[in-house]
C-alpha cells in the first residue's frame, strides 16, 4: 500500500480533520509530480497541524517509512511532533502506533525528530522529511541534509512549511528564488511556482501592487476561516510594521524590495525567431574576482537574442572573443559595457575590429534609470525572452535597493545577478534614441 491523495482524504475523515479549501490545495500539490513542496503562509494558518497530519498518514500508509521532522531548533520541531503524537493517541489510531519520546513507531517504520544541527541529520534515509519554519533556520545545513537525502529512497518527499523569509539571503529566500526562476503564475494573493523537482505555493501580498495597509486584503492571504480582518487590525497595532508584514502579510524580505511582481518575468516568455541580419545591442557586465561576467544581446524591439555567462577570474578575458563571435552572426549596433576592468579591451575592440563600444559606468545615476526601464519593459510585456536558464536565475536573484537617486537593481545574496545587469544595460541602450541634428539656419 502506498500513500495517495485518495487514502489521505479517507485518513483525514477517519481522524475527524476537516480540510479547508486552501489545505486541500496544499495536499493536492503534496501528492503531485514534484518531490519537494514548499508552502509559505502567514502565521496562524495551521501549517504545523497539516504537516503533522501528512506525516502520520505517511507513517501508516507507506511501506517501511522513515519520517523525520526538523526545524531551526529542536524545540520548534517538537511542535509538529506533539501534534503528530496527539493524532497517534486517538482511539482510531492508538492500536497501530507506539508512542515513544520524540518518536512514533509502526511495524517497520518510525517518525522522529532530528537534531537542528544539519551535520547530524545526514545519517537517516527518510521517505518523508518535514522542515518546519524554514525562515528561522540560521544556516541551510538541515535543509541541505533533507534535500540531498531525496536521492536515497525512490519516491522520497520533502515538505517545507514556513512563514515568509526576512531576507533573500536565507535558506528559504534561496529556495524561493529557485522556485520563481521557473514557471510562475499568480492569482489574487496566491503564487504557484514550479521549477525542476520543486513546487512552491505562497499566500502573500506583493509590495509593488497591493495595499499593505488594507486589512481586508491582508486577510485574503490568511486563508484560514478563523482569521478575520478585525484580528489582523489588532495585530497591526500591536506589532512593528516589518514584523506584521512578515508574519501576517507574508511579505518576503520586508526590509528589502522585490523588483518584479510575481509572474511578470514568466509572462514575457515567448517563442520567436530572430531574423537573419537583425541588428542587436549588447550589454556587458564585468564581474570581479570569483564572480560571473555576462553578455546579453537584444534587438531594438527588445527580444533577447542570446545570453552568455562566464565564471571565474579569467571570465573577462573571454568576453572579446564572445563579442566578435556575436558580431559574425548579427550586426552589432553597439556594445554597452561596464568600464571597470574592461576599458583597455573595449578600446582594442573598437580600434581593431570596428565595434562601437559605449562606456556604461554603473553609477547610481545610470543604473537607477536602466533598472526602471527594464522594470517597465518587463511589466508592460514589451520585452520578450525564450527562457534562458542562467538569465532566469539572475533575474530571480536580483532585488531593488533604494538609493538617493531612486531604486536600482542589486544583489540580495551571494547569488550572481550579472546577466540581469547586462540585460538592463542592453535594454537601456536599445531604447536610447539620439535626437537628430536640426539645421536652424545659417550664420
- Same domain for 311 and 178: no
- On the question of pLDDT at 210 being above 60, the answer is yes
- Same domain for 411 and 387: yes
Residue 36 lies in a domain: yes
- Same domain for 196 and 122: yes
Which residues make Cβ contacts (< 8 Å) with residue 347, sequence separation at least 6? Answer: 357
- Same domain for 293 and 209: no
Let me know how many helices (H) and strands (E) the chain has, helices first.
Answer: 15, 17
Residue 255 lies in a domain: no
Q: What beta strand segments (E) does 8-125 contain?
A: 36-40, 66-71, 98-100, 103-106, 109-113
Number of domains in the chain: 2
Q: Which domain holds residue 314?
A: 264-430
pLDDT at residue number 340:
82
Cα distances (Å, whole numbers) of residue 219 to 38, 214, 215: 21, 9, 6
Residue 388 lies in a domain: yes
- Same domain for 202 and 55: yes
HSE, CB side, 13 Å, CA atoms: give it for residue 388: 21
- CATH number, domain of 392, equals 3.30.420.240
- Same domain for 243 and 138: yes
Boundary of a domain, candidates 213, 248, 283: 248
Task: Using the CB atoms, write b or e for 197-231: b if 16+ within 10 Å.
Answer: ebbbbbbbbbbeebebeebebbbebbbbeebeeee
pLDDT in tens, 369-399: 999 999 999 989 999 999 999 999 999 889 8
Boundary of a domain, candidates 248, 273, 299: 248
pLDDT in tens, 110-168: 999 987 665 556 667 899 999 999 988 878 888 999 999 998 888 899 999 999 987 77
Q: Average pLDDT in the 413-442 region? A: 79
The whole-model pTM stands at 0.74
- Same domain for 31 and 164: yes
What mean pLDDT, rounded, does the chain reach?
Answer: 89
- Same domain for 307 and 181: no
- Same domain for 216 and 276: no
The three-class DSSP label of residue 160 is strand
- Same domain for 294 and 200: no
- On the question of pLDDT at 434 being above 70, the answer is no
pLDDT band at 435 (very low <50, low <70, confident <90, very high): very low
> Which of 207-211, 323-327, 434-438 comes out lowest in average pLDDT?
434-438
Residue 438 lies in a domain: no
> Which of 17-31, 120-134, 231-245 comes out lowest in average pLDDT?
120-134
Which residues make Cβ contacts (< 8 Å) with residue 432, sequence separation at least 6? Answer: none
Whole-number percent of the chain with pLDDT over 70: 94
- Same domain for 272 and 240: no
- Same domain for 353 and 244: no
Which residues make Cβ contacts (< 8 Å) with residue 202, sequence separation at least 6? Answer: 39, 40, 41, 164, 176, 190, 191, 193, 250
Amino acid at each position: 500500500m502506498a500513500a495517495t491523495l485518495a487514502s489521505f482524504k479517507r485518513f483525514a475523515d477517519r481522524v475527524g480533520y476537516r480540510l479547508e479549501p486552501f489545505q486541500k490545495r496544499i495536499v493536492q500539490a503534496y501528492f503531485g509530480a514534484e518531490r519537494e513542496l514548499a508552502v509559505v503562509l502567514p502565521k496562524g494558518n495551521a501549517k504545523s497541524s497539516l504537516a503533522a497530519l501528512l506525516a502520520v498518514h505517511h507513517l501508516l500508509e507507506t511501506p517501511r517509512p522513515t519520517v523525520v521532522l526538523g526545524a531551526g531548533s529542536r524545540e520548534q520541531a517538537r511542535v509538529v511532533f506533539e501534534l503528530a503524537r496527539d493524532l497517534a493517541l486517538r482511539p482510531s489510531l492508538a492500536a497501530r502506533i507506539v508512542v515513544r519520546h520524540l518518536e512514533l513507531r509502526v511495524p517497520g517504520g518510525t517518525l522522529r525528530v532530528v537534531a537542528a544541527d544539519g551535520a547530524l541529520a545526514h545519517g537517516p534515509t527518510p521517505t518523508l522529511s518535514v522542515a518546519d519554519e524554514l525562515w528561522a533556520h540560521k544556516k541551510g545545513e538541515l535543509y541541505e541534509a533533507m534535500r540531498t537525502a531525496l536521492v536515497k529512497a525512490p519516491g522520497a518527499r520533502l515538505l517545507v512549511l514556513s512563514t515568509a523569509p526576512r531576507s533573500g539571503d536565507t535558506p528559504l529566500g534561496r529556495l524561493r528564488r529557485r522556485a520563481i526562476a521557473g514557471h510562475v503564475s499568480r492569482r489574487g494573493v496566491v503564487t504557484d511556482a514550479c521549477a525542476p523537482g520543486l513546487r512552491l505555493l505562497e499566500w502573500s501580498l506583493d509590495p509593488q501592487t497591493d495595499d499593505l495597509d488594507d486589512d481586508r486584503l491582508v486577510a485574503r492571504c490568511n486563508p484560514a476561516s478563523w482569521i478575520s480582518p478585525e484580528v489582523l487590525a489588532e495585530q497591526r497595532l500591536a506589532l512593528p510594521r516589518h514584523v506584521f508584514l512578515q508574519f501576517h502579510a507574508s511579505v518576503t524580505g520586508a526590509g528589502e524590495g522585490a523588483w518584479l511582481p510575481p509572474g511578470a518575468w514568466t509572462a514575457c516568455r515567448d517563442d520567436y525567431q530572430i531574423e537573419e541580419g537583425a541588428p542587436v545591442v549588447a550589454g556587458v557586465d564585468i564581474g570581479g574576482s570569483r564572480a560571473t561576467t555576462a553578455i546579453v544581446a537584444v534587438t531594438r524591439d527588445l527580444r533577447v537574442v542570446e545570453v552568455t555567462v562566464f565564471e571565474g577570474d579569467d571570465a573577462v578575458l573571454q568576453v572579446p572573443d564572445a563579442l566578435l563571435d556575436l558580431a559574425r552572426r548579427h550586426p552589432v549596433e553597439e556594445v554597452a559595457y561596464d568600464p571597470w576592468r574592461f576599458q583597455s579591451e573595449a578600446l582594442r575592440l573598437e580600434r581593431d575590429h570596428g565595434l562601437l563600444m559605449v562606456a556604461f559606468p554603473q553609477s547610481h545615476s545610470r543604473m537607477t534609470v536602466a533598472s526602471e526601464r527594464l522594470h517597465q519593459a518587463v511589466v508592460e510585456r514589451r520585452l520578450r525572452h525564450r527562457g534562458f536558464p542562467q538569465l532566469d536565475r539572475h533575474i530571480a536573484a536580483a532585488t531593488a535597493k533604494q538609493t538617493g537617486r531612486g531604486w536600482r537593481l542589486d544583489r540580495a545574496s551571494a547569488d550572481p545577478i550579472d546577466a540581469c545587469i547586462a540585460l538592463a544595460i542592453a535594454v537601456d541602450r536599445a531604447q536610447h534614441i539620439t535626437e537628430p541634428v536640426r539645421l536652424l539656419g545659417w550664420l
